Structure 1
């Protein structure tokens, strides 16, 4: 199957028809580069990518058990336990016995953790908005449609 697309950065001839594999490859590379660039726009901290992701999950989802957080982040519970221990030690996550089940521990972001996430979100949104504003109305519409598609891909 061929898909009409813009030429690859590798200087494909004008009118090149990308295959699904080429489009998938190009999309993955572009998405990865954008994600790496956005990760640079964060509040000053010493968190690893996995620690930041776990804190972000608690910021978005609220209180979660270690098991639920592990599942959401697609890591093993022992790995998540190490990540959470570092976040607790840094004062960014609070660990407490669940009010519903004394065998479970609930994790929540502390006020310091929430502040860190809000500042990072503000920085990333500002960085991206500065670039999106330079797009034409048509490009912004395409970006809005692509965003819906990307959410679907991420949730599949």
Structure 2
């Protein structure tokens, strides 16, 4: 199956569809499937998707208040508080007073949480690198160009 992904797409596949609406739909579906598949490549844990996402945000963005984390994750503060409580109980997140204001609580990924995120990142990168290495040089070039386009779409 790995080698099949390295072969050019037949004319009837989504890559050859012409309308913007069809291309947008096909792109969204393919992107969602790839994201779901990559989410399967994670370190062994029993975290929910929301918990894993919150931990990932703390890992990437550094210490945040509950409000900042809620905003970045697009959830309400009470919902994020429940998520954070589970992560703290699991030893993956720690709370501390803010240096500039002792009334504020700052959340950060613990050493255990950071290790979990590093292992997950390594697994996902390895899974994807194996598949990308099976592509022809031309398809890798196209993928590199598409990556730039995707970043632009995500940042718009």
Equivalent residues in 2 for 1:1-156, closer than 5 Å: 7-8=12-13, 17-156=17-156
Q: What are structure 1's unaligned runs of at least 5 residues?
A: 10-14
Tell whether the 8 Å contact from 2:17 to 2:23 is kept in structure 1 after alignment.
no
Secondary structure of the corresponding residue to residue 107 of structure 2: strand
Q: Secondary structure in 2 aligned to 1:135?
A: coil
Give the 3-state SS of the residue equivalent to 1:37 in structure 2: helix
After TM superposition, the score normalised by the length of structure 1 is 0.88
Structure with the higher fraction of residues in helix conformation: 2
Pairwise CA distance, 1:148? 1.5
TM superposition shift of 1:143: 1.0
Matches of 1:23 and 1:130 in 2, distance apart? 26
The Cα offsets for residues 83-135 of structure 1, whole Å up to 9 and x where unpaired, read as: 11110010000011111122321110000000000110111000000000011
Cα deviation 1:21-44 (Å, max 9, x = unaligned): 111110010001001111111000
Cα distance change, pair 77–138 in 1 and its aligned pair in 2 (3 A): same
Separation of aligned partners in 1, 2:84 and 2:17: 47
RMSD: 1.7
Deviation at residue 50 of structure 1 after TM alignment: 0.6
Q: How many residues align?
A: 147
Hey, what does 2:3 align to over in structure 1? none
TM-aligned CA deviation for residue 75 of structure 1: 1.2
Deviation at 1:16, TM superposition (A): 5.6
**Which structure 2 residue ranges, 5 or more long, are not aligned?**
1-9
Find the aligned partners of 1:98 and 1:147 in 2 and give their Cα distance: 38
Provide the TM-score with structure 2 as the length reference.
0.88
